[in-house]
Amino acid sequence: MFRITILGTSGSAPTKERGLAGVAVEYEGMLYLLDCGEGTQRQMMRFGLNPYRINAIFITHMHGDHVIGVAGIVRTLALYKRTAPLYIYVPEGYAKGLLSLLQFDNAMLSYPIIVEEVRAGVVRTDRNLEIRAFALRHTVKTYGYVVRELDRHHFIKSRCDTLGIKSEMFSALSKRGSIRIGKKTVRLGEVTTVELGRKIVYATDTRPAASTVTAAKDADLLIHESAYSDELAKLAKERLHSTAREAAGVAKRAHVKRLVLTHMSTRYTDPRVLEDEAKAIFKNVEAASDGMSIAIERNKRGP
C-alpha cells in the first residue's frame, strides 16, 4: 500500500468544511504525517486513521496552522500508553520552539520523543522508502518533502541461469552493483529489469520555486499549495504564497502525473474556481477536500 489521505486543506484558519494542514502517508505498515495543524488527530479518526500508528511527523515550517496539532497528538499517544519512539522533524533552528510546544503543561509522556532538525537532503529512510527535504520560499524557513519509494530490481531468470548466477551471488550483485564471474564482470543492470519507485511531493507554504520543480520531476503526485486565485496574485507575492495557476505551472514544468491543490484561503467556499484556473495550465489537477484518499499505483516495470 502507498496511500495518501488529505487531512486538512484550509490555509491559516479552519472552516466548517475544512481543517488545517495535514497529510497522512501510509506505506507498508508505516504511517507518516506531513504537517500537523490544529485538529489533525480528530481528522485522522474521522477518516479511519489511528494516531497510535504514527511513526514520524514531518513539519514544513513553524507557523501555527502547520504545527499546533502536534501538542494534542503527543498527549493522546501517552494516554493510549504508547511505548515506541515518535520522531518529529522540523526545519533547522526550530527544535527548541517545538519542544516548548510539547512541554508547556508538563505532560507525563510514556514514550520517547525524538526531535530532529531538517536541512535539504535525505531526512529519513525506512525499509524501501526515502524521505527527502527541499527548500521552499516562504516568510520563515520552510521545507517541502519528497516521499519516494526506492527503485526495485527484478532478476531475469534466463539471463542469470546463462551466466551461472546463483545463491549468495544475487545478494552480492544487489549490494555491490557488479560481480566477477570468471573473467567477466556482470553488472546489475544486465540481468535485471527496474521497477521505478513511486514518488509523492508535498510543497506548502511557498512561492513557486525551482527547487520544487526539481524535487517533483516525474512525480506520481504533487500536493502544492494554492492559497489564491489569479485576481489575488499580488497578495500571493506579498505573503509568499502561490496562486492556483502558479501551482499548475510548477506541475507542468516538473512533468508530474497528477496535481492536487491544498492550503486554500478561507475566502474560497467553492474551491472549483482554483481548480478551473489551474486546469488552464495543467489538465490532471484537482482541488483537495478533507478526507480525500489517493492510492499511488505501482509503476510498470521497464528495462
86 close to 124: Cβ distance less than 8 angstroms: no
Task: Provide the 10 A C-beta neighbour count for residue 33.
Answer: 25
Active site residue 65: yes
Distance (Å, rounded) from C-alpha 270 to C-alpha 17? Answer: 11
Task: Provide the 10 A C-beta neighbour count for residue 177.
Answer: 11
User: What is the number of residues in the chain?
Assistant: 303
274 close to 264: Cβ distance less than 8 angstroms: yes
Distance (Å, rounded) from C-alpha 193 to C-alpha 196? Answer: 10
Catalytic: which of 35, 65, 205, 220? 65
My answer on whether omega of the bond before 205 falls inside 30° of 0, hence cis, is yes
Residue positions annotated with a catalytic role = 65
